[in-house]
């Protein structure tokens, strides 16, 4: 097998792992990976504004609003008016949202983060360089992407 085939197989394995995790999460929690990441972000700080969530995830506020709408319909989050500024809306987890974060399958992204952060600095830099190069080779370097391992368009929440 030549190196081109080996590289394509490695890319396919990454895509498949992401797809399989997405299915597992959907089956266990009824959420997409992006929706689950919103829950995790809110859980980290207990209460956040949609703007803060959008900034942390690197997506537009409109995208976050759509994700929050879906999560609210599922009973995972609630919107409340800020006590300090009534024009501001805060997002908090419901009991169901907290239980989902606590019991969902180990996120593929968390596994990656743990192992990536355990690498030496030079290994991290080399890996980032290689991944950025692959993105450029696929004409994907300029695509809008949040730091979430998921397939599909993050701006179109399911």
Q: Is residue 154 part of a domain?
A: no
Query: Which of 83, 106, 86, 103 minimizes the C-alpha distance to 95?
Result: 103
The answer for residues whose C-beta is within 8 angstroms of residue 18's C-beta and 6 or more apart is 33, 108, 149, 150, 151
Q: Is 80 part of a structural domain of the chain?
A: yes
CA 30 to chain centre: 15
**What pLDDT does 26 receive?**
77
Query: pLDDT value at position 15?
Result: 87
- Whether 144 is in a domain gets the answer no
Structurally, the chain folds into a number of domains equal to 1
Please give the residue range of the domain that contains residue 92: 3-137
Spell 68-99 as b/e; 16+ CB within 10 A means b: bebbeebebbeeeeeeeeeeeebbbbeeebbe
Q: In the prediction, which pLDDT does 154 show?
A: 44
Domain-located, residue 157: no
- Residue 145 falls inside a structural domain: no
pLDDT, tens digit only, all 158 positions of the chain: 899 999 999 999 988 988 888 888 778 778 888 898 899 999 999 889 999 999 998 888 898 999 999 999 999 999 998 787 778 899 999 999 999 988 877 767 778 888 999 999 999 999 999 999 998 998 887 776 666 666 554 444 44
Closest CA to 82 of 57, 55, 48, 54: 48
143 found inside a domain: no
Task: Identify whether 124 is part of a domain.
Answer: yes
Query: For the domain that residue 59 is a member of, what is the CATH number?
Result: 1.10.10.10
């Amino acid at each position: 097998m030549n190196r081109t085939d080996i590289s394509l197989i490695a890319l396919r394995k990454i895509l498949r792992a992401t797809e399989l995790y997405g299915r597992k999460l959907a089956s266990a929690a009824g959420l997409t990976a992006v929706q689950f990441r919103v829950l995790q972000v809110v859980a980290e700080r207990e209460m956040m504004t949609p703007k803060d969530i959008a900034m942390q995830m690197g997506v537009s506020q409109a995208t976050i609003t759509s994700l929050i709408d879906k999560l609210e319909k599922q009973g995972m989050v609630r919107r409340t008016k800020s006590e300090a500024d009534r024009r501001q809306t805060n997002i908090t987890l419901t009991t169901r949202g907290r239980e989902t974060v606590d019991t969902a399958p180990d996120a593929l992204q968390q596994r990656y983060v743990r192992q990536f952060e355990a690498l030496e600095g030079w290994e991290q830099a080399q890996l980032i360089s290689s991944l950025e190069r692959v993105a450029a080779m696929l004409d994907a370097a300029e695509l809008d992407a949040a730091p979430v391992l998921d397939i599909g368009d993050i701006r179109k929440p399911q």
